[in-house]
Structure formats: structure tokens, C-alpha cells
Amino acid sequence: MDFQSCVNIKKEWDIVGARQLGRDIARKIGFGTVDQARIATAISELARNIYLYAGTGKVCFEALEEIDHKGIAIVAIDNGPGIQEISQVMEDGFSTSGGLGAGLPGVKRLMDEFNIHSEEGKGTEIRVVKWLR
């Protein structure tokens, strides 16, 4: 996969950096303010999960251009403990951090495509895509 850019997530401030970069890329692709906000929210959630549960990782962005449509792919990668019960974290309202519980189900609702791969002890990779309408 050809990533245009990645933001390393090591400290809480990096979440803001990832969010800004993602929003900028989304704007350049042509997304309106509402979708930019949706994308930025998804990025915040993914980056926050890396920060809270894995400690370090990265969020990468790719502008997608296909014959009939354009979009943005966001991939969150970490080498953390992995997710034991993916079905559990995909339940609405599930939260281990005491947060709002929008979590990954919220990310899935905000985006058009959502794929998660996690191996216990090896880490997690989540790829989401939003297509320009």
C-alpha cells in the first residue's frame, strides 16, 4: 500500500496531529465540512485507542483515486497487546476506558469501509475508508 503520510502516535498531542493531517488530506480530496468532521472524529478515536491501549503506533493516510470515485483510506497500526475479543469491542456501548463508548462501532458508522485485524501479543491494524459522494 502506498501511504502518502503517517503520524507516529507516542503522546496524547500526536492524536491532534493525526486529526489535523487527516482533515487536511480529506479537504484536498474534496470532502465537505461534515465529512471532514466525520473523518477527523474517526481518526481521533483510532489514534486514541493506540495511545491508550498500545502505547505507540501510527496512523497512515492514503488518497484513493479510482475510475469512478475518490476517497481516503486511514490505517491505524500498533504493536500493542492486540484485541482478544473483537466481537466485544465492536458492541455499541462497550468501553474499557470509561469513555463515551462510541469507540470502534462509532468509527465503523462514520466510515464506509471498516476492516480490523488483530493478533494477541502482536498488535492491531484497522483500515477504514470514506468515499467521496
Q: Which amino acid is at 81?
A: P
What was the pLDDT predicted at 97? 63
Kindly report, residue by residue over 85-109, the tens digit of the pLDDT. 888 888 877 766 655 446 899 999 9
Question: By percentage, how much of the chain surpasses pLDDT 90?
Answer: 78
Helices (H), the chain: 12-29, 33-49, 86-89, 103-110
Residue pair 95/26 in contact (Cβ under 8 Å)? The answer is no
What's 47's domain CATH number?
A: 3.30.565.10
Nearest-angstrom CA–CA distance, 23 and 34 = 11
For residue 54, give its domain range. 4-131
Residues 22-44 have a mean pLDDT of 96
Decide if pLDDT at 1 tops 50.
no
Residue 67, H or E segment: none
Is the separation of the CB atoms in 73 and 129 below 8 Å? yes
Counting the structural domains of the chain, the total is 1
